[in-house]
Amino acid sequence: MNFEYIKTFYTLANCKNFSETAKALYLSQPSITSQIKSLEQYLGIKLFTRTHHSVDLTLAGEILYPYAENIINMTTKAENELSELSDTLLGKLLIASSLTIGESVLPSYLNTFKTHYPNVKLETVITNSKHVIEMIQRNEIEIGLIEAEFDDPSFITHSFMEDELVLFGNKKDCELLNKPIDLKEIRRLPLILREQGSGTRSVAEKYLKHHQVDPKKLNIILELDSTESIKSAVEAHLGFSILSKSAIRKELSFGLFENILIKNSKFTRTFKIVYKKNKELSLISQKFLELILSFSDEKRLQDENTNNTT
């Protein structure tokens, strides 16, 4: 049985779409179709039912799926153990992360990783948390960094950093407000927010709901898909926004933006690293995971030491 055909079958079963499978495997759609057809001919049975927009596993496909997953995992495990015999780690680290993490946190992690493993090529995809999860589900990437709340039994999730969201505005606009404000007063402010699906947006809305503020009643005047575009809009006096404090650190220090304090309220969240529970990670991904968690452990120890001395 051809391993590449098994890999294509497994990826198509997860993507449920020929074009997404071709994208994930860096192949053409005709190649994907040809490989699946060859595998079905070899096995003498149909593995997928095809519709105009998607594909679903047949009973035979469902039987083959766990074996295909096991074959792929065992192959990766064998490659990892052989790679451990070498003094040099080679290959590519492909990481997807949410926007805030990708702009504010990930670069320092990648710099440290590159210092330890200089022969590994680095490639990143910066998008929203929802898309990061979708990429892992389609096997386009092995691990991702997200900021949204996420709970799925088929995934393993590790929290690695705490982050604070802040309400802020152009310093001149903030001078017109009576601060600190009550949380419910946020409804009257013209807001510029991230798009639906972003971790920042989902965490902020969940926090507001928990404190009896309906997100549907917010005065959202503009939705943008990047932190930089939001900051530009705030700088241009278009409104106020909610972002990670780390994302506006420079603007706060320069006096361009002002953090608007909210009475008895503080937006906090945790950044998370996620990957599939039943997937054997490549050695490169394992090393990056170890790096992230080691940073998290060091920060926890520092915090404990600080608390013990106060």
Q: Which residues contact 249 (CB under 8 A, 6 or more apart)?
A: none
Question: What is the CATH T-level fold of the domain 163-269, as seen in this structure?
Answer: D-Maltodextrin-Binding Protein; domain 2 (3.40.190)
Do residues 245 and 165 make contact, with C-beta atoms less than 8 angstroms apart? Answer: yes
The alpha-helical segments, DSSP class H, found in the chain are: 3-15, 18-25, 29-43, 59-83, 99-104, 106-116, 129-137, 171-174, 199-210, 227-235, 249-254, 283-308
pLDDT tens string 76-131: 999 888 888 877 888 999 999 998 899 888 999 999 999 999 999 999 999 988 99
Question: How much is the pTM?
Answer: 0.74
According to the model, what pLDDT value does residue 298 have?
A: 57
More confident: 1 or 244: 244
* Pairing status of strand 220-224 against strand 191-194: parallel
Question: What is the CATH T-level fold of the domain 91-161+270-308, as seen in this structure?
Answer: D-Maltodextrin-Binding Protein; domain 2 (3.40.190)
pLDDT tens string 185-234: 999 999 999 988 888 888 889 889 988 999 999 999 999 988 999 999 99
Q: Which residues contact 200 (CB under 8 A, 6 or more apart)?
A: 99, 100, 147, 165, 193, 194, 242, 243, 244
Helix, strand, coil content of the chain in percent (nearest 5): 50, 25, 25
91-161+270-308 and 163-269 agree in CATH topology: yes
Integer Cα distance of 174 and 11 in angstroms: 51
Domain boundaries, the chain: 3-83, 91-161+270-308, 163-269
Integer Cα distance of 174 and 183 in angstroms: 15
According to the model, what pLDDT value does residue 147 have?
A: 87
- Tell me which architecture the domain covering 3-83 has in CATH: Orthogonal Bundle (1.10)
* Pairing status of strand 120-127 against strand 91-98: parallel
